[in-house]
Amino acid sequence: MVVLSVPAEVTVILLDIEGTTTPIAFVKDILFPYIEDHVKEYLQTHWEEEECQQDVSLLRKQAEEDAHLDGAVPIPAASGDGEDDRERMIQAVVDNVCWQMSLDRKTTALKQLQGHMWRAAFKAGLMKAEFFEDVVPAVRKWREAGMKVYVYSSGSVEAQKLLFGHSTEGDVLELFDGHFDTKIGHKVESESYRKIASSIGCSTSNILFLTDVTVEASAAEAADVHVAVVVRPGNAGLTDDEKTYYRLITSFGCPPRVLPLPAFILTGEGIHLKIRIYTREFCKCAYVYFQNPFHRHLSRRQNLSSVKRKLM
């Protein structure tokens, strides 16, 4: 098991959800099928409500933007033909939603409707969110250490709050300082992470982003965000290059934070300097002892094995 080490400059943990905090199986086998199976029933029940009409309006606008795509499903405006017109529009929305989901699209319009449907399901007790067992204990430890914890997911903020508010761990919403979705930007765009840092009020270098998607990790890294790629059961496989390049973890398990604080130790051979070394690329720590510390120089990015060869 490869657990997470948090760099000393990090004050904010930014979490992805699917494949990071929550098993992909829960999302793919429970959340998404629920939408496909119940979207028509939901629309028929809530059609006259303002919120539902706002969802439909946003989906219609998205459909207009997608008109040039192969297989795109249009959503017509009301024609005033009564019940037949209503059923025709409902079916068009259903077809559009299913088309978008078949392509695994993450449009704001789709996520908003999904979020409202999940809200109804969670509040009715029809489902509870599932988290990997290391998630909640780790979040508690991070907060106890004075760090802030945020969520950044392609799912709407409302859907995120539903997951963390109705889980097998109970309501754990209070553990999180805030939530971000695609309204701030897409997760594969570096600018999104700069906006998040600005919103939080910190530097991008103060953020550690945990995700299972390497293209997201790359975008975050380009914004000078610390990243770690989370390897969980059921997640997509990684290429050999990705395994070599990215910092990989299999658990949020929390060892002590990596702090660049020296300690002088008096031994029978004299005074030694004890330094805890952190290498970002390898996410490993080691204690190194040497007698003439001020004649030696360490690079934070050196391979740990090379440091050992030089100093031990």
Instruction: Look up the pTM and report it.
Output: 0.70
More confident residue, 119 or 84: 119
Annotated binding site for substrate: 153-154, 187
Annotated binding site for Mg(2+): 16, 18, 212
Look at residue 303 and give its three-state secondary structure: coil
Question: Measured in Å, how far apart are the chain's first and last C-alpha atoms?
Answer: 27
Look at residue 98 and give its three-state secondary structure: helix
Positive/negative CA dihedral, 131, 134, 137, 142: negative
Split at pLDDT 50, 70, 90, the class of 159 is confident
Annotated binding site: 16, 18, 153-154, 187, 212
Average pLDDT for the chain: 84
pLDDT at 254: 58
Structural domains of the chain, ranges and CATH numbers in brackets: 12-22+129-249 (3.40.50.1000), 31-123 (1.10.720.60), 263-311 (no CATH)
pLDDT at 288: 35
Helix, strand, coil abundance in the chain, percent, nearest 5: 45, 15, 40
Report the distance separating Cα 288 and Cα 269, nearest Å.
16
pLDDT digits (tens, 9 = 90+) for 167-207: 999 999 999 999 999 999 999 999 999 999 999 999 999 99
Q: What is the mean pLDDT of residues 68-84?
A: 86
The fraction of the chain above a pLDDT of 70, given in percent, is: 80
pLDDT at 156: 87
Q: What is the mean pLDDT of residues 43-64?
A: 97
Q: Are the beta carbons of 60 and 97 closer than 8 angstroms?
A: no
Candidates 54, 68, 56; CA nearest to 96 is 56
pLDDT at 2: 82
Least confident of 24-38, 169-183, 270-284: 270-284
pLDDT at 96: 98
